[in-house]
Structure 1
C-alpha cells in the first residue's frame, strides 16, 4: 500500500472510529444525573479535545506503520481497541468500575506505545503525549465518578 494512501486510511480509522463511537453511545441523561467532581469539564470540551487527539493518534499510527516498528504497531492497535471499548462500558453499560479498569489498561497501553516508539520513531511518541495526558485526566475523572456514585 502506498504510504500516502495509508495516511488517510489511518486518519479515517482513528477519527472516523472515534466519531462513530461518540455517536453510538448516549452520553446525556444518565451521565447528567451523576454526582461529578469539581474538576469535571463542561460537556462542550470533549468533542474538540477528542477530535484533535484522534488526528494525532492516526498520524502516530501511520508513522509507526511506515517505519515498520512491530511492537509499537501492536500497541497502537491495542490502545485503539481499549479506546473503542471504554465508551460502551462507561456510557451504555453504566459500569463505572469496569470502565475504570478499561481506562487504566488504556493508560498502560499508551505509556507502552510511547516507550516502544521513543527510540526509533520519536515523533510518534511525542504525538501520543497529549493523548497520555488526557487519558490520565480521564482516568482520574472516571475514578472520581466511580467513587462519588
Structure 2
C-alpha cells in the first residue's frame, strides 16, 4: 500500500474510529444495566472483547476508505463512497436502536440491512481496489456474527 496522501489516511482513520466510538455513548451505560439483564446465548462473547474488536475494525475501515478516497474522482469512486457512508450510518444507528431504544427486533432488521450494505461496499470497493475490499472482510465477518447474536438475543427475550 503506497501512502500518497498521509493527511487523507490520518483523517480517514480518525473519522471512522471517532464516529464509530460515538456509538459507544449509546452503549456503555446500558451494558451493566439493561444489557446485563438480557438472556443471551451461550456463544455470547465477554463484554471486554467488543471495544478492541470494534476499534480494530474501524481502523481497517478507515484504511479501506482511504484507499478509495485517494483515487481520482470518478463515478465508480463516488458510488463506492456513497455506499460506504450508508453502511457507516447504519452501523452508527444500530447502537441507538439496540442499546438506547431497547428495540432488539428492529435492531436485527437494521443489522441485516447493514450487512447488505457492507457487502455492497465490498463489491464496489473491489472494482477500484482489491486491498480496500479485502480490508472490509473482517468487518463483514464480525457483523455476520453480530447478526446471529442479535437474532439470538431477540429470540431469547
What TM-score range do you get, normalising by the shorter chain? Answer: over 0.9
- Is residue 11 of structure 2 the alignment partner of residue 3 of structure 1? no
* C-alpha separation in 2, matches of 1:6 and 1:16: 15
1:69-89 C-alpha deviation (Å, 9 max, x unpaired): 122111110111001100010
Distance 2:78 2:97 in 1: 29
Aligned to 1:101: 109
Kindly tell me the number of residue pairs found equivalent between the two proteins. 148
- Counterpart residue number, 2:46: 42
Aligned to 1:15: 17
Render the CA deviation track for 1:114-136: whole Å, top value 9, x for unaligned. 11111321111000000000000
> Greater CA deviation, 69-78 or 90-99?
69-78
- Give the counterpart of 1:57 among 58, 61, 77: 61
Give me the CA root mean square deviation.
Answer: 1.3
Stretches of structure 2 that go unaligned for 5 or more consecutive residues are: none
TM-score (normalizing by structure 2) = 0.90
SS in 2 for 1:119: helix
Instruction: Tell me the equivalent position of 2:142.
Output: 134
Deviation at 1:111, TM superposition (A): 0.4
Moved over 4 A (4+): none
8 Å contact from structure 2 (residues 94, 111) kept in 1: yes
Q: Offset of 1:28 from its aligned partner?
A: 2.2
Aligned positions of 1:137-148 closer than 5 A: 137-148=145-156
- Extract unaligned runs of 5+ from structure 1: none
Distance 2:39 2:8 in 1: 43
Deviation at 1:29, TM superposition (A): 0.6
